[in-house]
Amino acid sequence: MHANTSATKHHPNTQSANYIRLNKWISNAGVCSRREADELIQNGRITVNGALVTTLGYQVHSTDTVRYKNKVLTPKKNVYILLNKCKNCITTNSDPENRKTVLDFVKGACSERIYPIGRLDRNTTGLLVLTNDGELAHKLSHPSYEIKKLYQVTLATGITAKSLTAIEAGVQLEDGMVRVDNISIVDGDPTKLGIMLHSGKNRVVRRLFEALGYQILALDRVMYADLTKKNLPRGKWRYLTQQEIYKLQQQVSASRTGNKGKKRLLAATHNKQNQH
């Protein structure tokens, strides 16, 4: 049993540039969100200078040693950038063919090494988040967190009612079934569609329409999570606000909690059925 001997070393209300809240330290180290860090603290998973700390709001000094799973946590400056990607630009950190990459558009934005979350193919335009926050990047990319993306699709020929019904019912691709959250015709023009989905499959929108015999002329991601292209011209970038970062963290936290609830409900239903 660890003693909570360090809990009184620094007063929780200490006001100094050298002190920060323990949950912020953990979050800045890239372990998890601040809310999840509070859970780790309450559950006795964090030590400061070798002593267990379970006090929420506890302040740590810049010289303290914070450990989780016996690993020293070192805070880093996390950077979050939103880019409105251009066409003919690839989503990668470098390219052996010296083609323009998304990182070329954010040169000088920060000294930290950032990377894009997920991918947009060369000819797809729209929203892309770049960061050095590995924990958040993993959660935003993983299908189990069901992060929604909204695309505007321009087709070479107008979509039929039959195809719309097929997409709404789900389309079987070679790597599994794809179900959309919503699809609608934009401004009464059957060649222009808005489609929302949370699938993490590679090139999923293009492959979905190709499977039904349609050619995509333009594909633009206009929303990612709750982020939009408002006041962000094509080829430009900006830093995410603290509120936007917090909302992203809340989304992945709420999504994961919801998915766990769904799994528990499915398991309980399955067990109940087996009892009859």
The residues annotated with a catalytic role in the active site are 121
The partner residues of 80 in beta bridges, in order of sequence, read 131
Residues 193, 98: contact at Cβ < 8 Å? Answer: no
CB 195 within 8 A of CB 151: yes
DSSP 176-242: EEE--SEEEEETTEEEEEEEEE----TTHHHHHHHHTT--EEEEEEEEETTEE-TT--TT-EEEPPH
Do 99 and 249 meet the contact criterion of CB atoms below 8 Å apart?
Answer: no
Asked if 58 and 21 count as a contact pair (C-beta separation under 8 A), the reply is: yes
Strand-strand pairing, 66-68 and 46-48: antiparallel
For the chain, the helix, strand and coil percentages under 3-state DSSP, each to the nearest 5: 30, 25, 40
